[in-house]
Structure 1
Amino acid sequence: MQNPNVPDSNSLVSVIIPCYNRESYIAETVNSVLSQTWPNIELIVVDDGCKDGSRKVLESFGRRITILEHQGCANLGQSAAINLGLRQSRGDYLAILDSDDLFAPGKIEKQVRFLEKNPEYGLVYSNGMHIDENGKELYQMHYGDHRPPTGPEQVLEDCCYNVPSNALFRRAVFEKVGFLNEALRSAQDHDYAIRIAEVTRIGYMDECLWNYRRHGGSISNTRTLERWKNGFKILQAALKRYPYPLVTVRRRKAVLHFRLGQCYLKERQYVKSAYHLFLAGIQDPYRSLRVLAGRERLTGPN
């Protein structure tokens, strides 16, 4: 008789990697999945119209991975690439990994064990480690002040987990929330995280189970600016789905205005920067003052 506290190793985990021009990193990323201790993994890599040598690197793995591409080898963006992988996936559990990030050894097995021992959770995420271009460890994501979300309100305010790379979720959750929003070319990960938090409880493991690579090819200030602007679209969509309290809405608007103020300051657009920082103070004056005084930090990348 199967012990209910021991995960069924027959449970299939589908890992989806959207790849666009990652020739220098994709082999290491793929190997971080293939070397996992969990015995039943389906690895799907979506070639999102790569123009460098990424495809040749992927083909060197042979039948150990499944390579997908859009019709005509088109570049349709990360959301479309992930969605293509989700459509073809067969796993009981799903994970998404950015093409330059890495799974730590044992990551999948530890998260599967967590979910199978805690059926009340539909998704589990973990702590992680920032690494540089060469894989050198820089600093971890979360420290002692990290508070896992108790509901979607916290995820909307300050996205505290990343669906790409550090989360594992049940297929049943995917069947409820559906696909990523392909109309968003940035911040789609936060949108998806919010939608997941609206339908299930979120678990947390305080262990560095993934590596987030920081390098010169990371998001530019222009893309970051687009991300915060998209944040308002995501907020409006969330309000149509879920009865968020006014205090949560005000706090989220404050975060968005504060981040926009930071972006415009980097571009030396001082009037726009001051405008958004002022609006942040109007929406959430107490927290804005604490952040500006260095007594509090915004906890997530969103």
Structure 2
Amino acid sequence: MTQPTVSILMPVYNGAQFLASAIDSALAQTYPAIQLILVNDCATDNSAEIIARYLPDPRITYLQNECNSGVATSRNVALQHASGSYIAFHDQDDLWLPNKLELQMAALQQHPEIGLLHTLYARIDTGGQLFPEYRTLAQDAFGNPAADTVVGDVFEEIFISNDIQPLTSIIPKAMLDEVGWFNPDLPGVDDYELWLRIARRYPIAHLQTITGYWRQHAAQQSKQGYTMLLIRLKALDTFLAADPDAASKVNRSAFVARMHGMNRGAANHYFYNLQDYARARGYFRQALTLKPGDIDSRLKLAYCALPDPARDLIRRIKNSLKRQPS
């Protein structure tokens, strides 16, 4: 019986330092039926030269974007050329264990109803060394063929706090086509918004063993503080605008805590860090629709609504009071 092909999507942009290791870990899979799709997103380093060494391998499909377009667009470009029945994701700086796809495909055959299967992962540094919390784990924590697969409705869980990494995820192509591909307007969280769409329609499975290494380094978008807060909030707003009934599937107090906290965090960023009071007003208003009794946000909203001379006067008064001896 012919094994179904897994198409592996790998966007490439200025990650030459780790690229060869990433490609090697994808090609070293014990599961034989793979297509590795490399999408060069106009890298300006020597990524193209590294890729060229691998092109004789018939398992590789190599594509080049006409302009730098981001990870989501690059993944969508790869999907247009995917021949596999299943789609997996491998970033240019991460690593897979050799039996990652073998374990996942076995689990998928046991659970054909699921919309996404992910696993545990371990974090590594730029040198490929495990973070301290993973160094004491038993060997069978990594790539364990006897690991359990837990299947369930996790929509509420990931709405509140997502820990599904593209690195360990695999999705049936037919289900991906049904819910839609990646949203390029959500850089850095396009995967999260897609997970929400999948989890609304299908059960999600978690294979409880480590199958990949997530490399942590300074250039990663996921470390960019308030930028990621704003784009995560945009992802949730985008998802809820398209599927407003989804809010009813989340415990109301948890939903309010999540959305109020994010809107208030965004508002305080514009209020304190940028002094952009017009934008802060919008986020404070949204926070107050969720928690009308939030006095701090109500006072800050009133301050934001003042004309500039009034705010200047208040600041001068506060500064003069601070200078007075106690």
Q: TM-score range by the shorter chain?
A: 0.7 to 0.9
Q: 2:64 is matched with which residue?
A: 69
Task: Give the letter aligned to residue 115 of structure 2.
Answer: G
- CA distance in 2 between counterparts of 1:258 and 1:205 reads 35
Task: Give the letter aligned to residue 200 of structure 2.
Answer: E
For the aligned residues, what is the CA RMSD?
3.2
Farther off after superposition, 241-250 or 25-34: 241-250
SS of 2:49's partner is helix
The answer to which structure has the higher helix fraction is: 2
Q: How high is the TM-score relative to the length of structure 1?
A: 0.77
Select 2:237's aligned residue among 233, 245, 250.
Answer: 233
Q: 1:289 is matched with which residue?
A: none
- CA distance in 1 between counterparts of 2:104 and 2:215 reads 21
Contact 1:130 1:211 in 2 (8 A): yes
- CA distance in 2 between counterparts of 1:88 and 1:98 reads 18
- CA distance in 2 between counterparts of 1:150 and 1:232 reads 18
Q: Give yes or no for the alignment of 1:106 onto 2:93.
A: no
Aligned residues: 265
* 1:48-63 correspondence runs (5 A): 48-63=41-56
SS of 1:205's partner is strand
Select 1:90's aligned residue among 58, 67, 83.
Answer: 83
SS of 2:219's partner is coil
Shift of 1:173: 1.1
Q: Give yes or no for the alignment of 1:79 onto 2:81.
A: no
Farther off after superposition, 239-248 or 49-58: 239-248
Q: Give yes or no for the alignment of 1:250 onto 2:256.
A: yes
SS of 1:63's partner is coil
Which residues of structure 1 form unaligned runs of 5+?
A: 1-7, 286-302
Q: How high is the TM-score relative to the length of structure 2?
A: 0.72
* 1:16-35 correspondence runs (5 A): 16-35=9-28
For 1:2-24, what per-residue CA distance to the aligned partner results, in whole angstroms no more than 9, with x for missing partners?
xxxxxx55210000001111010
For 1:36-80, what per-residue CA distance to the aligned partner results, in whole angstroms no more than 9, with x for missing partners?
10011000011011111111111111232211112xx31011110
- CA distance in 2 between counterparts of 1:259 and 1:129 reads 29
Shift of 1:237: 2.9
Identity %: 25
Shift of 1:26: 0.9
Q: 1:292 is matched with which residue?
A: none
Q: Give yes or no for the alignment of 1:182 onto 2:184.
A: yes
- CA distance in 2 between counterparts of 1:188 and 1:232 reads 11
Q: 1:223 is matched with which residue?
A: 227
Contact 1:15 1:96 in 2 (8 A): yes
Task: Give the letter aligned to residue 112 of structure 2.
Answer: P
Contact 2:233 2:263 in 1 (8 A): no
SS of 2:194's partner is helix
Contact 1:122 1:173 in 2 (8 A): yes
Contact 1:11 1:40 in 2 (8 A): yes
Q: Give yes or no for the alignment of 1:159 onto 2:182.
A: no
Contact 1:126 1:167 in 2 (8 A): yes
